[in-house]
Structure formats: structure tokens, C-alpha cells
Amino acid sequence: MIEFRFVVGDLARTSFAYSPLQEAVYSLRCWRDPARYPHQRPWLRRLAPAFRRLDTELLGALVAPHLWLPDYLTPRPERPRPALAGQLARIRGVPPETLESEFTAAYDTVTGRLPQVLREGLADPAAFRHRIADALEAYWHECLAPDWWPRVQSVLEADLTYRGKVLADAGVGGLFTSLDRRLSWDGDVLTLVQTDSLHTWPGADIRIEGRGLVLVPTLFCHGAHTMIDPELPPLLSYPARGRATISEAPPPATSEALTRLLGAARARILRLLGEPASTTELAHRLAVTPGAVSQHLSILYDAGLLLRTRSGRSVRYVRSELGERLCG
């Protein structure tokens, strides 16, 4: 059982964020155990040729056999939408003397023995931390950034929007329960009861103590979990809503009434906007230019079929009540 203990003011410092570095590192679990992540299989097939050209021995060794990872590879996001470059700089700057304990903590509960590539690298931890960061950066640019990350980012953005609605409708208790059915909130303590994991996360009594709890959606976990080291700044990762959509192809054009009314392209966009998305996200999902999507969005918005809100630097669209009725 893991307990997060709140005092006055801690709840106000609870926030959401997502992490491109965490998703990149967690995605390495797919290469070790693809059966656990069926929705990623189409991507694995597409990315395999590029992945094989990388430092796969090292990338594979970052994930322990039970799919745990060293905490330092997934640092708590410092802002809601951090840039990968800044996150990689943080792991390049981790104290070299901590690397061995981090990998040992991730591996010890199963084998107690590190793979050869890790043992050899840890002989010079100052250089090894840079080799790891370089391998992750190459993995990001060669495999993930072009097409995979925009799809993942759209799922994570939609999850954050949904959680905000749950908080408004159901309050804090309803929000926490929506993250994982094993979470419960009594007004002071958030409790995670572990009941169905083969490799149970270490129990912990975590005091927030003004540090804030950051809630991080991910496509690569089946239940909520935290860091291995309970002394690190509080973080709770949870399964992102809509993970299955990562494997979906764009919906095909059909001869339905909606398509006849709006045209194939605009009907397709309206169907996708059951969850909020930006112009760029839609363009990636539909494999067209942002300019083409923007024109269709303007027409749908002017017709009263969409609502729009600003999120940071981007504008996000979602179906209006009229748009919902048309799709229904």
C-alpha cells in the first residue's frame, strides 16, 4: 500500500503534467515485452528498422525484466508540458555516483545482477550517463518525434482536458478515483492499494509537505504507480484515457449522411473531435497539412459545429452540442 499524506495547502499544489522523456523511456518497455502493449504493435512494426540502427543493447538494458526503470530516467516534470531537451539535460547532469544505486534498485527485486552493458558502463558513470542520454536522444529523433509523439501527445492532451472536467463535475475524490479504481481519498490521505501486480511496488508513506503532487498520464502502465524511491518529489503516474486510439488509422470516408452533408474531409474531422485537439494534432492523425485542416476547422466553427479554447500557445477544438447531435 502506498499513501500520500496531505496537509493544509498541499491539495492546492497538486497539478497535472505530461513528460515526453517519460513516454520515450517507458516506450522501451514495448520492445522488451510487446504483448503487454497491443495498441503499440503497429508502431513497433513501422519503427523496427530505425530502432535496429540504434544502441539497442543499451536501450534494452535500461528496462529491468519486470519492466521497472531507474527513477532518474523519468524525472518529475518541472512544468505541465516540458521540452525534451531540458529533460535530457537533467539526466545528463545527474550525479554520477547515483547511477549504480538507481540501476540496482530497478533490477534487484528480480535478478540482483545487472546486464553486462550496464556493469561495463558503470565502471565510468560520468561518461555512461552521457552515453545513455545520447542513446535516448537518438531514439527520440529517429523513431518517435516524426509521427509517434504527435499522436501520443494528442492522447495526453485529451486526457488532461478530460480530468479537468471530472474535477469540475465530481470534485477531488472523483478525480482521484478516475485515475485508478485502486485509489481512494479520505480528505487527508490518498491511498493506492496494490492488489493485482505480479511485482508489487514497494509500500511507502509519502508526505507531500509543500512539494506538490504531480499527476502524470502515460500510455505505458496498467495502473497508477509512483517512483521507486519514496523520498523523491511526489509523483503519481496513471494510465492515460484513450490509449487504444494510438493504433487507429484515420477513419475512412463513407457515404453516410454526414459525409454527404459536410464532405468527406470535414465529416472526418468532426468525428475525430469528440475529444479536444489542435490543428497540428489533427493534421498528424489525418496525414494532411495543418493549413488544410485549419480551413476545414474554420468552416465547421463558423457553422456552429465546434467550440474552441486556447491551451497555452495552441487553440483546441471540440464538437459543440450541435456537432454532437449531427454525429449522433
- pLDDT tens string 193-228: 976 554 566 788 999 999 999 999 999 998 999 999
Which pLDDT value is given to residue 288?
A: 87
Choosing from 219, 244, 269, the residue where a domain stops is 244
- Name the H helices within 255-320: 257-262, 264-272, 279-286, 290-302
Average pLDDT of 63-82?
93
The residue range of the domain holding 136 is 20-150
Residue with more model confidence, 45 or 328: 45
Asked if 158 and 146 sit in the same domain, the reply is no
Is pLDDT above 50 for 48? yes
Choosing from 244, 261, 284, the residue where a domain stops is 244
Is pLDDT above 70 for 12? yes
Q: How far apart are the C-alpha atoms of 41 and 34, rounded to whole Å? A: 7
Asked if 123 and 25 sit in the same domain, the reply is yes
DSSP structure class, residue 35: G
Asked if 236 and 269 sit in the same domain, the reply is no
Q: How confident is the model at residue 255 (pLDDT cuts 50, 70, 90)?
A: very low
Choosing from 209, 227, 244, the residue where a domain stops is 244
- Residue 238, SS3? strand
Asked if 111 and 37 sit in the same domain, the reply is yes
Asked if 111 and 133 sit in the same domain, the reply is yes
Which pLDDT value is given to residue 287?
A: 82
Q: How many domains does the chain have?
A: 3
Asked if 95 and 59 sit in the same domain, the reply is yes
Which pLDDT value is given to residue 257?
A: 78
Which pLDDT value is given to residue 168?
A: 93
Q: How far apart are the C-alpha atoms of 274 and 269, rounded to whole Å? A: 10
Which pLDDT value is given to residue 82?
A: 94
Average pLDDT of 1-11?
93
Is pLDDT above 80 for 248? no
Q: How far apart are the C-alpha atoms of 289 and 97, rounded to whole Å? A: 47
Asked if 6 and 47 sit in the same domain, the reply is no
Which pLDDT value is given to residue 198?
A: 44
Asked if 111 and 183 sit in the same domain, the reply is no
Which pLDDT value is given to residue 159?
A: 93
Asked if 8 and 156 sit in the same domain, the reply is yes
Asked if 183 and 232 sit in the same domain, the reply is yes
Asked if 138 and 41 sit in the same domain, the reply is yes
Long-range contacts of 97-103 (CB under 8 A, 24+ apart): 97/125, 98/72, 99/70, 99/72, 99/125, 99/128, 99/129, 100/125, 102/70, 102/71, 102/72, 102/73, 103/70
CA dihedral for 182, 186, 191, 195, sign (positive or negative) = negative
Query: How many alpha carbons lie under 13 Å from residue 50 in its C-beta half-sphere?
Result: 16
